[in-house]
Structure 1
């Protein structure tokens, strides 16, 4: 799965499940400041993303995530680190 496809899935989840306007869903959007997600929302998003990940998500991976692009990159790295094993 490529980064653009991951971004589109995250964007769709945020728009549908969190009622965030699509024009706000850009790679540089800050999760907490721009998208107004809180820690509960972040957990809900991770649960939603598990459906297209090859393995469980280590919460440590997401501690440094601040923007939508950071989420895309973290998921991309998880997917591709699994494929190379």
Structure 2
């Protein structure tokens, strides 16, 4: 899956499922501070990513994920492992 497609899917579920304002979504946006992702949202994200991309998120692998771009990098790396 190409990076642009990953970014579009992530943006779509942030807007549709988590009701994030579209103007807050930018590659360098901080997930917690700028977008407002909290621990309850993260649980939803795990389910959505599993359903959308077909892999399980391991919390220990998310330590370095701070921005939306980092999150898309993480998804892209996991899809490359398949």
Greater alpha carbon shift after TM alignment, 54-63 vs 5-14: 54-63
* Structure of greater Rg: 1
Corresponding residue number in structure 1 for 2:40: 40
TM-score with structure 2 setting the length: 0.89
Does the Cα contact within 8 Å between 2:32 and 2:38 map onto a contact in 1? yes
Unaligned 5+ residue runs, structure 1?
none
> How big is each residue's C-alpha offset from its partner over 1:14-71, in whole Å with a ceiling of 9 and x where there is no partner?
0011111112111111010001111111121121011133432222221221111111
Moved over 6 A (4+): none
RMSD: 1.2
Greater alpha carbon shift after TM alignment, 29-38 vs 40-49: 40-49
Corresponding residue number in structure 1 for 2:79: 79
2-structure distance, mates of 1:36, 1:55: 24
2-structure distance, mates of 1:54, 1:14: 17
1:46-85 aligned at under 5 Å gives the runs 46-82=46-82
2-structure distance, mates of 1:54, 1:19: 22
User: SS where residue 27 of structure 2 aligns?
Assistant: coil
